[in-house]
Structure 1
Amino acid sequence: MINRKLIGARYFYESYKIYRNKTMSYNSARDYDGHGTHTLSTAAGNFVSGVSVFGNGNGTASGASPNARVVSYKALWEDFGYDADILAAFEAAIADGVDVLSVSLGGLEPKEYWKNTISIGSFHAFLNGLVVVSSAGNDGPTPYSLTSTEPWVITVGASTTDREFTNSVTLGGNTTLQGLSISMFGLSSHELYPLINASDAKADNALSELAYLCANRSIDPKKIRGKILVCFQGTDDQTWVEQTEAVGVISLVTIPDTHFSPATLMLPVSNLNCTDSNYLLNYINQTKSPMATISKGETKLGIKSAPRMAAFSSRGPNPIEPRILKPDITAPGVNIIAANTEKVSILGSTNKNRNTPFKMISGTSMACPHVAGLVVLLKALHPDWSSAAIKSAIMTTATPLDNSGRPILENYSQEETTPFSYGAGHIQPNLAADPGLVYDLMTNDYLNFLCAHGYNSSTIGSLYRGFYVCPKHFNLANFNYPSITIIKLDLWHSINVTRTLTNVGSPSTYNVHIKVPHGVIVSVEPRILMFQQKGDKKDFRVTLSLKPQINNKANYFFGSLVWTDGKHNVRSPIIVKNPHQ
């Protein structure tokens, strides 16, 4: 229903209908999946009190820009989506005059810009003054796994918040393991219950690999009566266990850095991480009568350290143009509570007890609308800023530190992560509103980027409707991006990088501070920039050279460059590829 919040809803399915040769079950813009409802409300949902998922995370919720109006463009259907439909949605949004596009979708693999529908659609949007924000993808932590690689798009990775939905599994011997759960149910803390591994509860004629995942009909209900069933996490719906006499479920993961969400069943349940999963398996295998109990889920706030990088968040280096850092930024994308369509349950089950108005989901799709909502706020505050200026403000004010003041870590391994995970860092919206200085870019700068990437006028025509003649000389190192990435640096040649800063604040004097990447010599000239008025532009040059000996086997070295006037800190990551790797 269209109202003062949702002022438009359109759908695009002509290509889907032709190529799939299917009768659509619903030819409308309505969301029968929940993904679009969740992301749209994250970007710009109104303030709503009493929001929770089964009592967890209870509080007042809103989107990042709660006063914004929204339009929905539906281009994905039951099982697929087609490029022509997606591009039609982009063009419709441009024609409708929207300001910001939140694009929580991506391709199956990275593609060159001229072959990539999202690249083409987002470039058209940029040319028409829209800011496009896109999710990095959910194929992490594998390097080169992100698919949103365009410099004219704000690419967003996913990180955790300082909120967790936890419970505990207490074993015989009084060992306690921490799990994740949003179940309202718990077992008695004064009684222990038998544990049974799913493989020991297999039904006759069931496949072992299905029993391993506790798939429906793969487990003998008689074998789990009065016991806690231990399963491995997979894609199978385990809600059938609720109809048995099992007293609880524990789900395990045994692959490091595997993302897992809080368990959601109408009985005591807990999801364990890899370390605790292996501990539990050893306990079961080495104990004659393994026993345990499960507490109910609870919400914990102020978790340290946070944010951490989500294991699933797709990673750089940029697979299409490694001289451009991607992702650009990271934002909350783990266990995000937002609106649900109520047409499906929060587990995709037909059990109507789970058809709740709010849903908890994880993904870079959830991180993307956080940034899109921030972009809306920045456009309202600074209507004269370009899309590049807005991106710069968000990137240069981001932080690579967590809430304990230490470098951002990987969520499960707790190893220090890099800009290939979080880009410039985690968003800091209040600081982005007043960045002091920005790195700006205009249309010709992006066209020159395409030239330096190797495109000729004909190829550029796939993205740009005009005719553009590439300059004879353009060094991509001088593309005025808010980060610096050098992939070819050797002992015999230094590299000069030029950047231009535009003052968007009061007159001020900025000094430079450099965190030098390992094995690299970095100098900046000039080291002081004086801005007399708003709109002043100043150039500076960064010279990078290698030290004679580098005793480090890392593939890349990381540092940063910060311009500060005592109030503003304009920070840019520096990434240098190790020539010996």
Structure 2
Amino acid sequence: MKEEEIRIGEMVGRMAIVPSISFVLFLFLSLCLLPSAISSSHQSGSELETFIIHVSSSEKPPVFATDHHWYASILRSLPHSPHPSQIIYTYKHAVNGFSVRLTHSQAAQVRRLPGVLSVIPDQIRQLHTTHTPQFLGLSDVSGLWPNSGYAEDVIIGVLDTGIWPERPSFSDSGLSLAPSTWKGICETGPDFPACSGKIIGARAFYKGYEAAMGRPVDESVESKSPRDTEGHGTHTASTAAGSTVENAGLFKYAVGEARGMATKARIAAYKICWSVGCFDSDILAAMDQAVADGVHVISLSVGASGFAPPYDYDSIAIGAFGAAQNGVLVSCSAGNSGPGTYTAVNIAPWILTVGASTIDREFPADVVLGDGRVFGGVSLYSGDSLDGLEFPLIYAADSGSRYCYSGGLDSSKVAGKIVICDRGGNARVEKGSVVKAAGGVGMIMANTAESGEELIADSHLIPATMVGQMAADKIRDYVRSNPSPTATIVFRGTVIGASPSAPKVAAFSSRGPNHLTPEILKPDVIAPGVNILAGWTGAIGPTDLDIDPRRVDFNIISGTSMSCPHVSGLAALLRKAHPQWSPAALKSALMTTAYNLDNSGNNFTDLATGGESSPFIHGAGHVDPNRALDPGLVYDISVSEYVAFLCAVGYDSKQIEIFVRDHSPVDCASHSPNFGSPGNLNYPSFSVMFGPGTDVVSYTRVVTNVGSSLDVVYEAKVWGPSTVEITVSPSKLVFNATNQSLSYRITFSSSSIKDPTAALAAAFGGIEWSDGTHIVRSPIAIRWGQSFDYGISSYVSGSNSESGRSVL
């Protein structure tokens, strides 16, 4: 499933437990220093920095009596530098090599020398985890973790490809029996012997799948039990609620302490996805059962692979509405069809929709060209390296297939060479296996404009790396202009630091605007979804290729499927800390406390374009768990308000009955007659459309004080484009013991009506309410022009048809 989830986006759209805040700041600043030096030296080429040189002792020339003499001769062979290079350490016990101060250009020269295995910049290290808890600021000392009891006894229903229960992430050490509120069962059998205190329930839903296929599940290929033979479900479940595991990692990468977001939460696994996908009938049955079983949060990294279907034709939206009615929050992935617009799915306003972002951990693998230029890439390759040796370089387009399709390469041209394969068209890791089969010794996966600078690490079966579009263009130019181009690939392991900045929004992450309801901004938030380490199945290798014989406890993969369970786990933590909050209040807390600046203090970058991201791409921003614990104010929404919203979008009583299932039809004429526009839903963000004849739009909101002080005053601050006047009335909200919910009206007046026949124009702003302690922030997205015209004929072609869904 791993390759499929990113392929959708490519085809469609393109642990140390820190004791104090001061110590966290110290570590952060320390990590910033070296990357800054690297960046500086890369620009000037003359500044010294420390490098660790790993060498092959077997290649030491016999003329040198000692390793130290050999190393010294290497330094003497380098071009003259105003700063003489001196050996700092000689290593000969744990590793073979030495450390030395060099310029960047000298390091590039050393990389090409015989016997040199790698040249790695020196860095400040620390004990680390799957790293997303640390990146999110979670700590055992303060904040959301200790104040929520790590979500003990909160039940997360994971609807996915099942679960591999023997993985260490699902240890129930220290956990009691299942909570008394749990009503579910564990479907046991020869292939799934038992559940535990961590995995308290497990079921498989396959009837819809079998009906559509016209045959039973092929149990020689996939298990009919809740056991995960794909890996996706094990990965998402351990991300949301995995127990603490020491020395976790994928081969030599990301080694450290692994832990899910909610380490003491319980998991109920519902297997809904099979080899061909996930069927609506099975999805809806599982959601229905999960609510009946007593889950508190549903994590669903599944969705449509095209445009989001209308709410009443979307089983996930329908099931999620029923879950919300029963107090269950549903967290869903936004999809991997970016960077195209209108591609976000799972966009019903009662769903928490999550996009994908990067974290400050990289797995660098540099391309070193024969002319000495070095281009950064990423890789999880763990086999024999190229030992610093240069090999002839060829572009796959000159050998029959630019995308390195199976059987498309001319082995007489590829054998013994490193091959440049363009990204797209087929699975990333599959490209390397095609190169290997044709006799190639390595692969450079080259991004095109569709993927931009987005880099996703893969556990290749051949020495390989992925480079961004700008580097790829230069490497291709080098091949075209040089009669004998050569290159090597240098693998640098795991690097954590502030360069490159993070988070960035993944190019594959689906984005808005919302084509169904322009007045509702989607996605809601972004969370870590690129190169995420979590548990894996024992049925397949980390590449999900049949030719991969490796089996691992953990795997590193990417997708909005990975960002969704991060937020699901955070929602479980908040649910434990605030059990009286509704799903809408939990969602509001995560949205209004999200941040919008990366760790360099700049606005988020969209990796698809290299430019700034916008609320149509990242929603309210990146989740900030500890701030969400105490949001100050929340935008709560009742079920009746969701019904009024459905009336406002034009649904009749029959359509609405699909969601509410009341015995008596809903009368929209009498149900919240003053609701008006769908934009009046009490949503924690704002989306405004100025259409033909519309230059003023007003929305009403109600905020509820959930802070520790009953008597508190919040004042508003708004900002937006110069062409739109934004006013708030009242601009000051005074809460007291008898009035903890107050309303305000926000009005948008456009002074520059665009040509309604022209392409949509967009601008952005925001509103903040602050009492001096809390900042309650909501994004504002503004558009001029006509809304997206989207038909539903494909969803009404047959009354008995079922729509397929894909993992994301």
Aligned to 1:115: 313
Spell out the pairing of 1:123-162 with structure 2 (5 A cutoff): 123-162=321-360
SS of match in other structure, 2:302: coil
- Return closer, same or farther for 1:139/1:493 CA change in 2, 3 Å cut-off: closer
Spell out the pairing of 1:151-300 with structure 2 (5 A cutoff): 151-184=349-382, 185-189=384-388, 191-201=389-399, 208-209=400-401, 212-221=402-411, 223-234=413-424, 235-236=426-427, 237=430, 238-239=432-433, 241-242=435-436, 246-257=440-451, 259-300=454-495
CA shift, 1:163, in A, is: 1.1
Task: Select the residue among 454, 457, 474 that pairs with 2:675.
Answer: 474
In structure 2, the gaps of 5 or more residues are 1-193, 788-808
Matched, 1:18 2:211: yes
CA shift, 1:401, in A, is: 1.4
Alpha-carbon distance in 2 for matches of 1:197, 1:128? 57
CA shift, 1:271, in A, is: 1.3
Amino acid at match of 2:501: S
Question: Any idea what the Cα deviations from partners look like across 1:80-102, whole Å, max 9, x if unmatched?
Answer: 33221111101110110100000
Alpha-carbon distance in 1 for matches of 2:650, 2:693? 26
Matched, 1:312 2:508: yes
SS of match in other structure, 1:262: coil
Contact 1:268 1:295 in 2 (8 A): no
Bigger mean CA offset, 174-183 vs 293-302: 293-302
Contact 1:46 1:62 in 2 (8 A): yes
Alpha-carbon distance in 2 for matches of 1:144, 1:453? 18
Alpha-carbon distance in 2 for matches of 1:245, 1:490? 61
Aligned to 1:204: none
- Return closer, same or farther for 1:539/1:345 CA change in 2, 3 Å cut-off: same
CA shift, 1:460, in A, is: 0.4
CA shift, 1:490, in A, is: 7.0
Bigger mean CA offset, 396-405 vs 483-492: 483-492
Matched, 1:103 2:296: no
Contact 2:358 2:505 in 1 (8 A): yes
Aligned to 2:97: none
CA shift, 1:128, in A, is: 1.0
Bigger mean CA offset, 529-538 vs 27-36: 529-538
Amino acid at match of 1:381: A
Alpha-carbon distance in 1 for matches of 2:209, 2:688? 42
CA shift, 1:561, in A, is: 0.4
SS of match in other structure, 1:463: helix
Alpha-carbon distance in 2 for matches of 1:347, 1:143? 29
Contact 2:414 2:435 in 1 (8 A): no
Alpha-carbon distance in 2 for matches of 1:571, 1:20? 48
Task: Select the residue among 305, 314, 338 that pairs with 2:534.
Answer: 338
- Return closer, same or farther for 1:188/1:112 CA change in 2, 3 Å cut-off: same
Contact 1:49 1:61 in 2 (8 A): yes
Aligned to 1:559: 765
- Return closer, same or farther for 1:220/1:575 CA change in 2, 3 Å cut-off: closer
Contact 1:47 1:62 in 2 (8 A): yes
Contact 1:226 1:247 in 2 (8 A): yes
Task: Select the residue among 452, 456, 462 that pairs with 2:648.
Answer: 452
Spell out the pairing of 1:385-534 with structure 2 (5 A cutoff): 385-466=581-662, 467=664, 468-470=666-668, 471=671, 472-475=673-676, 476-488=678-690, 494-505=696-707, 506-507=709-710, 508-533=712-737
CA shift, 1:182, in A, is: 1.5
CA RMSD in angstroms comes to: 2.2
Contact 2:458 2:556 in 1 (8 A): no
Bigger mean CA offset, 253-262 vs 558-567: 253-262
CA shift, 1:240, in A, is: 5.5
Contact 2:502 2:598 in 1 (8 A): yes
Contact 1:524 1:541 in 2 (8 A): yes
SS of match in other structure, 2:765: strand
Question: Any idea what the Cα deviations from partners look like across 1:522-562, whole Å, max 9, x if unmatched?
Answer: 11122211222497011111122112577998612210000
Alpha-carbon distance in 2 for matches of 1:251, 1:534? 63
Amino acid at match of 2:205: F
Q: TM-score, normalised by structure 2?
A: 0.68
Contact 1:269 1:294 in 2 (8 A): yes
Bigger mean CA offset, 405-414 vs 234-243: 234-243
Task: Select the residue among 247, 258, 268 that pairs with 1:61.
Answer: 258
SS of match in other structure, 2:278: coil
**Rg larger in 1 or in 2?**
2
CA shift, 1:54, in A, is: 2.0
SS of match in other structure, 2:254: strand
CA shift, 1:219, in A, is: 3.6
Contact 1:346 1:355 in 2 (8 A): yes
Task: Select the residue among 53, 67, 82 that pairs with 2:279.
Answer: 82
CA shift, 1:199, in A, is: 4.3
Contact 2:409 2:438 in 1 (8 A): no
Contact 2:242 2:261 in 1 (8 A): yes
CA shift, 1:241, in A, is: 4.6
Contact 1:331 1:427 in 2 (8 A): yes
Aligned to 1:205: none
Aligned to 2:270: 73
Contact 1:257 1:412 in 2 (8 A): yes
Alpha-carbon distance in 2 for matches of 1:510, 1:63? 35
Alignment identity in percent? 40
Question: Any idea what the Cα deviations from partners look like across 1:277-307, whole Å, max 9, x if unmatched?
Answer: 1111111111110011110142221234211
Contact 1:46 1:66 in 2 (8 A): yes
- Return closer, same or farther for 1:489/1:320 CA change in 2, 3 Å cut-off: closer
Alpha-carbon distance in 1 for matches of 2:289, 2:632? 35
SS of match in other structure, 2:659: coil
Aligned to 2:239: 42
Alpha-carbon distance in 1 for matches of 2:691, 2:494? 49
Amino acid at match of 1:252: A
Matched, 1:354 2:547: no
Contact 2:358 2:530 in 1 (8 A): yes
SS of match in other structure, 2:299: strand
Question: Any idea what the Cα deviations from partners look like across 1:204-252, whole Å, max 9, x if unmatched?
Answer: xxxx34xx33344444545444322222334252336556764322222
Q: TM-score, normalised by structure 1?
A: 0.94
In structure 1, the gaps of 5 or more residues are 202-207
Contact 2:210 2:216 in 1 (8 A): yes
Residues paired across the two proteins, number: 572
Alpha-carbon distance in 2 for matches of 1:350, 1:443? 47
Aligned to 1:301: 496
CA shift, 1:451, in A, is: 0.5
Question: Any idea what the Cα deviations from partners look like across 1:107-126, whole Å, max 9, x if unmatched?
Answer: 23311111111111111111
Contact 2:456 2:558 in 1 (8 A): yes
Alpha-carbon distance in 2 for matches of 1:245, 1:149? 46
CA shift, 1:328, in A, is: 0.7
Alpha-carbon distance in 2 for matches of 1:413, 1:489? 28
- Return closer, same or farther for 1:62/1:533 CA change in 2, 3 Å cut-off: farther
Question: Any idea what the Cα deviations from partners look like across 1:497-543, whole Å, max 9, x if unmatched?
Answer: 21111000123221111112341101112221122249701111112
Bigger mean CA offset, 552-561 vs 415-424: 552-561
SS of match in other structure, 2:768: strand
